[in-house]
Amino acid sequence: MSTINSSTAIHINVIFILPAAGFAKIFYFGMVDKNYVMVMDLLGLSLEDLFDMCSRRFSVYTVMEIARQIFHLVSIIHSKGLLHRDIKPENFLIGRSSNHFEDIYMVDFGLSKEYIDPTTHKHVPFREHKSLTGTARYMSINTHLAREQSRRDDLEAVCYVLIYFLRAPLPWQGLKADNLKDRYNNICQVKRDTSIEALCDGLPREFPAALKYCKELEFGQDPDYGYLNMLFESYIRKNYKDPKPSCDWVHIMKSKRISCESISTNSFRTALQSENPKV
């Protein structure tokens, strides 16, 4: 009989308690021929795939729309007492049908963790000397410093993802080191040395405002998700009148008459990359 590793078990437990828009639905989980089987929504490409397709630069409107949706999804998982702990473009996918190309879904909860103690129903205590969890490019500075993660760390990571979409590469990308530990330390040092103003130079004020807010949150503080959503929704309402533009990838996918429904995601990705090779 096959067994489930801890990461898979966490993923299954999380998505069972997240029956909301923006999260894949599970239709079946159980044993089939002595193997565990899970049937769930089949989604489309990740934001990283779409970023490649768009020549590794998104428009301001597209990133504003991504921000609006991702901050909402993070607020939902946090409302369930959970942290994601691996916020990155690869963990956000779009729908497969053309009418869901602009709907973003959060996936991969293998590193998720409760921040509310199920016994005491209180916030977990602050600790130091924790193992690093997440993706170095996007993880918060506190995570680099081996501090217990909380909601603020997911939110700071979201900000780095958004800024990456507008100005990739980030200042700490491509750093060399003799080993992984030194590389992580180098990334942390550059993050700490790069001011919010320098990182967000030339970007709309909403991005430095969001990052500043997230970095100033206390360990156990309740984030104001409404404020974060308001930043980006207000910008969209002010600067884009109806009918609003579409996200950058929609035009490309429709012009190529690409359908996620008729081919596998891997084939879909290959088809797009053949048209848009990395440089």
Write out the catalytic residue numbers. 86
Burial per residue of 100-123, b for 16 or more beta-carbon CB atoms within 10 angstroms, e otherwise: ebbbbbbbbbbbbbebeeeeeeeb
Contact present, 105 and 23 (Cβ < 8 Å): yes
Contact present, 15 and 39 (Cβ < 8 Å): no
Q: How many CB atoms lie within 10 A of CB 48?
A: 18
Q: What is the DSSP string of 198-218?
A: HHTTTS-THHHHHHHHHHT--
Tell me the pairing of strands 26-32 and 35-40: antiparallel
Residues in the chain: 279
65 vs 272: CA distance, rounded Å: 22
Q: How does DSSP classify residue 150? A: -
Dihedral of CA 247/253/257/262: which sign? negative
